[in-house]
Structure 1
Amino acid sequence: MHKFKDLEIWKRSRLFCSQIYSMTSKFPDSEKLGLTNQLGRASVSIPSNIAEGSSRKSNKDFSRFLEMTLGSAYEIETQILIAYDLRFISELELNDLDKELTEIIKMISKFKSTLKI
């Protein structure tokens, strides 16, 4: 069992989630049930799945939860590109979010590879 609050991937993904919420607060009201909701749910699922997975008794179970976090990360990657296409975010915002998300994905993948299954 891992202490999720001590994991850098959890800390970083939690901050990233806050960035997503800040960004989507500027989206048009018509997107509240669309892209805003999707991005919020996907960003919350990353630190949430890390926390839930860390409570599992086996590394195999934890690894499965980390796999779900990667799925959510790639979902966010697609959604921020769509937000950019729709001109909801600037190129600079896109690049900043993409850079941070790429780092989180690398960290999750590396951590997952260290788990003895």
Structure 2
Amino acid sequence: MFFFFVGGLEQQVRLVQKSGAGRCIACGSRADLVDYDKVLKVFFVPVWRWPGKAPLMHCSSCHLFFPPSASLPPPPPRMKAEPHGMRCGSCGRPVEPEFSFCPFCGAAL
């Protein structure tokens, strides 16, 4: 006698807390901060739901769930052009044009 179990665990979005809160770590699309439910399915029918512990980021393009700390940071501020050189976008101090990083604050230029 054989018994086959067709089922599994899945995460589903319950509530979108903040739309466009970050970027997906897999595809780079916009990701939302969401509350989610874990769902046990047996033969593709939801049997039991329970809430997730902490909010997660969810990409609507590739349907990936990931922690908010892993999302891509916003792009760094760009440096401003001046007639006598460049200024750092973070601290505003003048920087030589050949530098890749600000020598004062360490921000990428």
TM-score by length of 2: 0.23
More helix by share: 1
TM-score by length of 1: 0.22
User: Larger relative CO (CA 8 A, sep 6+): 1 or 2?
Assistant: 1
More strand by share: 2
Q: Which has the larger radius of gyration?
A: 2
